[in-house]
């Protein structure tokens, strides 16, 4: 009888019983005051007027996740599994630019170009150097600590990406329209965080119900700009 009960619990979890879904859209927006500031004064001088400025409407690569350290009730962890993700090197670019993973994930770095590449990071969270390797080959890194890991190629200056290592299995990267979906979230109240590499993060409280869908949208941006 006990064995049957355990099997039923496992099957119940596998089918997402007592779990809901969080979905929404993340946008970036600059303040109108900031736009007026950069259009006048020294910003509009001949020296600086041709410098490329951020187009907030075109920002991508947001990540939304349950913040385990700021929630009153942490989401029950899923069974620990060995997972592997991939960041490709093609056209002298890393794809994706931002990769969210859970602690314990191995990331593969295949070189799909016909030239040599190098993958390295000097981040405190994970420092590594995979050395030079030619097209058709791949190397991997285990990310065993939470935090942000900035990754570069020592040959090509434009090649950079970020591995965001999280302590929760409940996260989602946004698509090209800013949409995200986090499924299989156990019922409860949590702190949900939206992250972007260039903008301050934003946290909102969310209550998830059994087999329900809750919609939470975010707008990230810089609230003020220093005057010169």
- DSSP class per residue in the chain: -HHHHHHHHHHHHHTTTTEEEEEEEEEE---HHHHHHHTSGGGGSTTTTTS----GGG----EEEE-TTS-SSPPPPPPP---EEE-EE-SS-EESSEEEEETTEEEEEEB-SSS-EEEEEE-SS-EEEEEEE-TT-EEEEEE-S-EEEEEE-SS-TT-EEEEEEES-S-EEE--TTSEEEEEEEESEEEEEEEEETTEEEEEEEEEE-TT-EEE--EEE--------
Domains 1-76+175-228 and 78-167 equal at CATH topology level = yes
Which of 196, 225, 175, 203 lies closest to 66 in space, CA to CA? 203
For the beta sheet containing 63-66, the strands, ordered from the edge strand earlier in sequence to the opposite edge, are 171-173, 63-66, 188-196, 199-208
CATH topology for the 1-76+175-228 domain: Immunoglobulin-like (2.60.40)
Residues of the chain under the 50 pLDDT cut? 1-16, 33, 72-76, 79, 225, 228
- Domain assignments of the chain as residue spans, ordered by start: 1-76+175-228, 78-167
Retrieve residue 72's tokens. 């009153």
pLDDT at 17: 56
pLDDT at 9: 36
Fold (topology level) of 78-167: Immunoglobulin-like (2.60.40)
pLDDT score at 6: 33
Residue 4's pLDDT is what?
32
Q: What is the pLDDT of residue 93?
A: 97
What per-residue confidence (pLDDT) applies to 35?
54
- For the entire predicted model, the pTM comes to 0.82
């Amino acid at each position: 009888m006990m064995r049957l009960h355990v099997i039923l619990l496992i099957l119940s979890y596998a089918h997402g019983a007592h779990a809901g879904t969080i979905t929404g859209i993340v946008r970036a927006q600059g303040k109108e005051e900031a736009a007026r500031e950069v259009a006048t004064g020294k910003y509009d001088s001949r020296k600086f007027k041709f410098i490329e400025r951020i187009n907030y409407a075109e920002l991508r690569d947001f990540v939304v996740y349950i913040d385990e350290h700021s929630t009153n009730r942490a989401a029950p962890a899923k069974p620990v599994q060995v997972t592997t993700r991939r960041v490709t090197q093609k056209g002298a670019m890393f794809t994706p630019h931002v990769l969210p993973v859970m602690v314990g994930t191995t990331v593969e770095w295949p070189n799909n170009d016909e030239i040599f590449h190098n993958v390295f990071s000097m981040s405190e969270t994970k420092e590594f150097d995979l050395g030079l390797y030619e097209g058709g080959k791949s190397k991997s890194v285990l990310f065993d600590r939470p935090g942000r890991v900035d990754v570069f190629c020592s040959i090509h200056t434009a090649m950079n990406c970020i591995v965001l290592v999280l302590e929760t299995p409940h996260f989602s990267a946004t698509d090209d329209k800013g949409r995200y979906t986090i499924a299989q979230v156990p019922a409860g109240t949590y702190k949900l965080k939206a992250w972007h590499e260039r903008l301050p993060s934003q946290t909102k409280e969310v209550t998830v119900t059994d087999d329900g869908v809750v919609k939470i949208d975010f707008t990230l941006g810089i609230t003020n700009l220093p005057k010169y």
